[in-house]
Structure 1
Amino acid sequence: MRLGDSINQLAKWLSLGRVINMPELKNVPQLPIWTDENRFSLEQRARAYLDVNCGHCHIKGGDAYNTGLFLDYDVKIPSHLGIDKAPVSAGGGAGGLDFDVVPGDAKHSILLYRMNSVEPGTAMPELARSIIHKEGVDLIRQWIDNMPSKK
C-alpha cells in the first residue's frame, strides 16, 4: 500500500493472505471515526479514540490491567472508565490529582494530565511518543468537561 491509498486494512491483509478465516467485512464491528463530528457523538468519538490509543494496555489482560482503568470501547461501568476512580498505580504520574476522570472538570483529571505530558513516567501512552497529540487531548478534554458534574 502506498501513501494516499484508501483501502480497508483488513481487506488488504486478507488479499495478501496475512489474515485467514475472517468474517465478511460487513460483519466486522467498527469503531466510530474519532474525527467525524457529523456522524458520531462526542462520547462515541472520545471512547473510540481511547480504545485505539489506550485500550491495548488498559484492557483486561493488558499491561495496565492492575490500574483498574479499562478504556476499551465496550466498557460500561463508570469507575472502569476512570470516572470518580482514585488511581492505584500512577504514583508521581498522577500530578497530585485525586481521580482518573473528574466529570465536568478535565483540568483535575489524571487521564488528561497524563495525555498532555511528554515527561517519562507521566506521559500516556508511554510507548513511541515524544509529542503531545493536541487533537486527541482536546477531544478528551471536551468529553470530560461535557460530562455532568456531581457538584
Structure 2
Amino acid sequence: MTRRSFLMLLAIVAIVLACRHEPAEMAAPVPPVDSVASVSVDLDQVPYPTLSQYRFFTGAMAAHQPNGGVLPYDVITPLFSDYAHKFRFVWMPPGTSASHVSDHVPLDFPNGTALIKSFYFDNVQPANVRRILETRVMIKRDGQWLFADYVWNDEQTEAVLDLNGRFVPLTWRDDQGTDHVQQYRIPAWAECFTCHKQNDVAMPIGPKLRNLARTVEYASGTADQIGKWVDAGYLQPGFPVPQPVARWDDPGTSLNDRVRAYVDMNCAHCHSEGKHCDYRPMRFAWQETANPVNLGVCVEPEDPLPGEPQLTYIVAPSNTYRSMLLHRISSTDEAVRMPLLGRTVVHAEAVELATEWINSLPGPCN
C-alpha cells in the first residue's frame, strides 16, 4: 500500500469513527410538567377577582381537593352558621410557620398565610344536591388581615369576589326529611369586620390552639391535628400542651362546659375586652366563664328589652322564663337575637342545651 493510500484509509476511518460518536440530532428535552400548579398568593395582587386564581384546590374546584401545602383543619366546637357545613383549610408560604402565643388567642401566623373556609349545604332542593354558597378567605399581609368573600356560581365551577353581601334563597332537607326554607346571608365586608376584630384590628377567631386540639381525618388517615401542623412545618414546636375546649354537643361532657364551649365560639368574639359588645357585662371566652357571673348568672340586664319585663336576669337559675340569654338565642328578630350577625335562623339544638343548663342551675338569685 502506498503512503498516499494509507493516509486516505486513515482519513476514512477517522470520519467513520467520528460519525459513530456524534449523537444523533433530537428534540430539546421537555421538562417534566407538573399537572398541578402551585398555590398563588401574591400579596401585591390579592384579593384576586376569582377563587380559582389562588389554586388552593386541584381538579374540579367544587370537590375541594387541597393543593400541595393546603392543609385541611377543623375545630372542636364550631361557629353555628344557619346549619351550613364548612370546609376549612390553611396555607402558609413555604418555609414559614405559625407560633403559639397563648391558648386564649389565635396563633401568630406569618405574612402570606391564607385561612380558607367554604360554606355549603347538602340535600339542597329541588335536585337534592350539595351546593357551595361562599368561600371566605382571610390573608395576612404586612401584619394585617384582609377579608375576601367569594360567591359560587350555580354551576359550582367558580366563585367571584363580592364584599357587598347578599341573601341567597335556599331550601334544604335535613336527615329527618324535613325541608327548611331560608334566606342564607353572605356577609358584607363590614359584617366580617364587626366579628373579626379586637380594638379595631382585624383578626381570625377559630384557630386557637385550644380549639385545634383534636383528631382530624386526612387523606392519609386520622391524625392528631396539632401534631400534623407541626409535622407539616406550619406550627413551631415547643409550646405547652393546650387545654382544649369542650365539644358543645358531647353528651358525655358536663352541661356547664358544653354551654361554655358554645358561647366561647359563638358569642365571645363580641363579648370580650376590645370587641364589639365589650360594654356588656358578659365575658363569654372559655377562660373567663369558669366564673358563672361572666355567663350572666344572676346578673341583671343593663338594658331591659321593651315589652319583656319578665326578663329580670341574663340567666335566672332554674327559670328559663326570666332568662334574657335564652330569649335572645331563641329569637330571629335582628333587634333581639344573639349572635347579632352570622345567624338568621334559630339553632334549635343550642336552645335545647341552654334550656337544660338553666334548669340545672340552683336558684333563686339572692
TM-score where L is the length of structure 1: 0.82
AA of the residue aligned to 1:119:
D
User: Using CA pairs below 8 Å that are at least 6 residues apart, which structure has the higher relative contact order?
Assistant: 1
SS of residue paired to 1:74: helix
Per-residue displacement from partner, 1:105-150 (whole Å, max 9, x unpaired)?
1221000000000112101111122110000111111111101113
Per-residue deviation, 1:88: 1.6
Percent identity over paired residues: 26
Does 1:20 pair with 2:97? yes
Partner Cα distance (1:141, 1:130) in 2: 20
Per-residue deviation, 1:90: 5.2
In the alignment, what sits opposite 1:45?
Answer: 258
In the alignment, what sits opposite 2:74?
Answer: 9
TM-score where L is the length of structure 2: 0.36
Question: CA 1:12–1:22 in structure 2 vs 1: closer, same or farther (change >3 Å)?
Answer: farther
Larger C-alpha radius of gyration, 1 or 2? 2
Partner Cα distance (1:66, 1:138) in 2: 28
In the alignment, what sits opposite 2:105?
Answer: none
Q: Which has the higher helix share?
A: 1
Partner Cα distance (2:318, 2:293) in 1: 15
In the alignment, what sits opposite 2:339?
Answer: 125
Segments ≥4 residues shifted beyond 4 Å: none
Query: Mind listing any 5+ residue stretches in structure 2 that lack a counterpart?
Result: 1-56, 58-62, 67-71, 76-87, 101-208, 210-225, 228-240
Does 1:140 pair with 2:215? no
Does 1:109 pair with 2:323? yes
Moved more, 63-72 or 25-34: 25-34
In the alignment, what sits opposite 1:72?
Answer: 285
In the alignment, what sits opposite 1:150?
Answer: 364
RMSD: 2.9
Partner Cα distance (1:116, 1:28) in 2: 33
Query: Would the aligned equivalents of 1:67 and 1:89 in 2 still touch at CA under 8 Å?
Result: no
Partner Cα distance (1:29, 1:90) in 2: 36
Per-residue displacement from partner, 1:50-97 (whole Å, max 9, x unpaired)?
1111111111221111111111112233322211111124543x8321
Aligned residues: 146
AA of the residue aligned to 2:325:
L
